[in-house]
């Protein structure tokens, strides 16, 4: 993992990198909406190419600046991909904003030269918060002959990965690997840094003077977050008092809030989705607690805190991506406007920014390939990419180098985190920095503080 060149790496004991940022996050008017399983583009069923040939035998560098797309519509045989996401569900949080970001990528890319002149066709498949449907989406992608599943998020990676493994289809670019198979499989290439932001939230709390902490993690994600959060506490000579599980389906969360506040902690780390925060905040506000809440990017946001602004004041938000209003995300914002996306949704979120950055990463790799573009040739090319440069959306990543710092997390190529704060009804950047949390997750070092870089 290499953070953007414009932000040099500091001392090894505090690996902080500075990302240039120009704007302060303005207030977002956010609302949820639904959606169904569909294709985001035309009904073309053209093949993505033959299974013969390969991307070459050498390790490669891929850059978002490798080839400028002509300002004309893409033509020819489409490059097919699939995007898997919970859009309508009674049992899990949903992320229609990620779907909108995916559709924006397709429309924008095809209107600006496509990928090496060819259009991209992305099937949007709603996994509906159901393991069987998540598997059905994976089978649909295989049957359609997609090159890869890109920018996707599902709570049921363990149902998706085996299908893609057998078919040699890459699960590429997602924000948030939730399952063991996503964090270990050779066909999995998450570009986001989950669970780094969980560890970073713990570190930031202790750096802010918190002495006692409880943590609440959504059901199913405990194994992903607990080990690295415990290691982060260890790095500061502390321990988290209690880990509490919150069910994935939103309901009356009074009992969970009461347990989270047991022992009167000074801060509470909360790792769950936006819809759960909406159910959580009423009980949190009624408790009258003065504990500081630490939450996740795009989940603990203006929408989830609407009506509870006072109770949420001063909350700290840990995330994967820098503020979506900063220069690295200029094209993202232009594409959303171009596609007439529903701007009532939160596009500064893990799911939405993860979808976009994953799609960009896919495009960068394909642009550097030679010969037929197929699932097998793309998987080979991704596996040999030593420098994936997305233009600062995520650090420059070496997809050939697995991480062995924490057992079970070998495919966590990106281990950076960012911070924001909730103030006066708005989420604003707490800092304009992206922090490397590698040593923190290992329990070997604290989060960087911005010391001068080594000469």
Per-residue pLDDT reduced to its tens digit, 269-322: 999 988 899 899 999 999 999 999 999 998 899 989 999 999 999 999 999 998
Q: How far is it, in rounded angstroms, from Cα 51 to Cα 373?
A: 8
pLDDT in tens, 54-106: 333 456 788 765 444 446 788 889 999 999 999 998 888 889 999 999 999 99
Sequence-ordered strand ranges (E) for 162-272: 170-172, 188-189, 213-218, 242-246, 267-271
For residue 311, list its beta bridge partners: none
Count Cβ atoms below 10 Å from residue 280 Cβ, excluding itself.
26
What is the token pair recorded at 9?
A: 């790496």
367 contacts: CB under 8 Å, gap ≥ 6: 62, 66, 67, 115, 116
Record the tokens describing residue 428, joined without a space: 């604003």
Residues whose CB is less than 8 angstroms from the CB of residue 187 and which lie 6 or more positions away in sequence, other chains included: 161, 164, 165, 168, 169, 170, 171, 379
DSSP letter (8 states) at residue 446 = P
DSSP 399-422: TT----SSTT-TT----EEEEEEE
Least confidently predicted of 28-42, 130-144, 200-214, 286-300? 28-42
- Using only C-alpha atoms, the chain has a radius of gyration, in whole angstroms, of 21
Q: How high is the mean pLDDT of the chain?
A: 85
Q: Which has the closest alpha carbon to 359: 384, 331, 337?
A: 331
DSSP label at 397? Answer: B
| H or E stretch at 319 | strand 316-319
Question: Higher-confidence residue: 224 or 453?
Answer: 224
Instruction: Grade residue 249 by pLDDT with cuts at 50, 70 and 90.
Output: confident
- CA-to-CA distance for 197 and 182, rounded, in angstroms? 17
The rounded distance, in Å, linking the Cα atoms of 132 and 439 is 37
CB neighbour burial string for 363-374, b if at least 16 within 10 angstroms, e if fewer: bbbbebbeebbb
Confidence band of 447 (pLDDT split at 50, 70, 90): confident
> Closest Cα to residue 434, out of 350, 344, 318, 343?
318
pLDDT value for 123: 98
Q: For residue 374, which of 82, 168, 113 has the smallest C-alpha distance? A: 168
Q: CATH 3.40.50.2300 spans which residues of the chain? A: 31-194+326-414, 196-319+417-442
Alpha helix (H) ranges present in 59-95? none
pLDDT surpassing 60 at residue 45: no
Compare 170 and 248 and report the one with higher pLDDT. Answer: 170
Provide the greatest CA pair distance for the chain: 64
| Cα separation, 20 vs 214, whole angstroms | 33
| 170 in Cβ contact with 189 (< 8 Å) | yes
Contact 45, 123 (CB under 8 A): no
Residue with tokens 């780094």: 196
- pLDDT-based confidence at 449, cuts 50/70/90? low
Q: Distance (Å, rounded) from C-alpha 200 to C-alpha 446? A: 9
**For residue range 339-360, what is the model confidence (pLDDT) as tens digits?**
999 999 989 999 999 999 999 9
CA 86 vs CA 94, 131, 154: distances in Å: 5, 11, 7
The two three-digit tokens of residue 261, written as one number: 């506040």
List the structure tokens of 406. 């924490």
Asked if the model's pLDDT at residue 53 lies above 50, the reply is no
Question: Crossing angle of helices 96-111/330-338, nearest 10°?
Answer: 90
Instruction: Judge whether 85 and 98 are in contact, CB under 8 Å.
Output: yes
- CATH superfamily, domain at 31-194+326-414: Response regulator (3.40.50.2300)
Is the pTM above the cut of 0.85? no
List the structure tokens of 241.
Answer: 């008092």
- What is residue 26's predicted lDDT score, i.e. its pLDDT? 28
Angle ∠(58,61,65) on CA atoms, nearest 5: 145
Q: State residue 4's pLDDT score.
A: 52
Residues in the chain, how many? 455
Q: Pick 276 or 35 by higher pLDDT.
A: 276
The whole-number pLDDT of residue 3 equals: 60
- Cα–Cα distance for residue pair 306/346, rounded to 1 Å: 13
Q: What is the pLDDT of residues 6-25, one digit of tens each?
A: 332 233 333 332 233 323 22
CATH topology classification for 196-319+417-442: Rossmann fold (3.40.50)
Strands (E), 79-153: 79-85, 120-126, 148-150
């Amino acid at each position: 993992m290499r953070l953007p060149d414009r932000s040099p790496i500091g001392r090894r004991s505090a690996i902080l990198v500075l990302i240039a940022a120009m704007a302060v996050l303005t207030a977002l008017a956010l609302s949820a909406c639904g959606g169904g399983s569909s294709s985001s583009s035309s009904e073309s069923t053209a093949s993505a190419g033959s299974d013969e040939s390969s991307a070459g035998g050498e390790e490669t560098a891929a850059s978002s600046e490798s080839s400028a797309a002509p300002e004309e519509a893409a033509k020819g045989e489409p490059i097919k991909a699939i995007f898997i996401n919970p859009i309508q569900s009674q049992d899990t949080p949903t992320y229609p904003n990620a779907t909108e970001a995916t559709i924006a990528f397709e429309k924008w890319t095809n209107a600006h030269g496509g990928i090496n002149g060819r259009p991209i066709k992305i099937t949007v498949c709603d996994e509906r918060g159901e393991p069987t449907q998540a598997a059905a989406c994976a089978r649909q992608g295989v049957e359609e002959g997609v090159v890869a599943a890109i920018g996707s998020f599902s709570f049921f990676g363990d149902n998706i990965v085996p299908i893609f493994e057998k078919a040699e289809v890459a699960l590429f670019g997602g924000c948030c690997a939730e399952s063991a198979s996503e964090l270990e499989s050779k066909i999995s290439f998450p570009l986001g840094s989950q669970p780094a932001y969980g560890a970073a939230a713990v570190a930031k709390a202790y750096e802010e003077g918190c002495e006692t902490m409880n943590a609440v993690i959504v059901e199913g994600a405990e194994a992903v977050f607990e080990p690295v959060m415990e290691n982060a506490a260890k790095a500061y000579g502390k321990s988290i008092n209690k880990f509490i599980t919150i069910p994935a389906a939103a309901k009356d969360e009074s009992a969970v809030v009461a347990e989270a506040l047991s022992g009167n902690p000074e801060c509470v780390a909360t790792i769950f989705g936006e819809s759960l925060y909406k159910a959580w905040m009423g009980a949190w506000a009624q408790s009258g607690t003065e504990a500081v809440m630490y939450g996740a990017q795009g989940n603990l946001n203006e929408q989830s805190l609407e009506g509870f602004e006072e109770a949420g004041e001063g909350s700290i938000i840990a995330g994967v991506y820098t503020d979506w209003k900063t220069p690295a995300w200029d094209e993202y914002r232009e594409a959303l406007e171009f596609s007439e996306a529903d701007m009532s949704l939160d596009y500064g979120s893990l799911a939405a920014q993860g979808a976009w950055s994953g799609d960009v990463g896919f495009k960068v790799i394909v642009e550097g390939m030679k010969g037929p573009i197929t699932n097998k040739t793309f998987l080979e090319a991704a596996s040999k990419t030593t420098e994936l440069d997305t233009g600062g959306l995520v650090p420059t990543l070496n997809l050939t180098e697995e991480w062995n710092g924490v057992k079970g997390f070998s495919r966590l190529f990106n281990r950076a985190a960012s911070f924001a704060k909730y103030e006066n009804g708005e989420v604003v950047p707490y800092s304009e920095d992206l922090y490397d949390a590698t040593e923190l997750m290992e329990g070997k070092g604290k989060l960087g503080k911005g010391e001068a870089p080594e000469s």
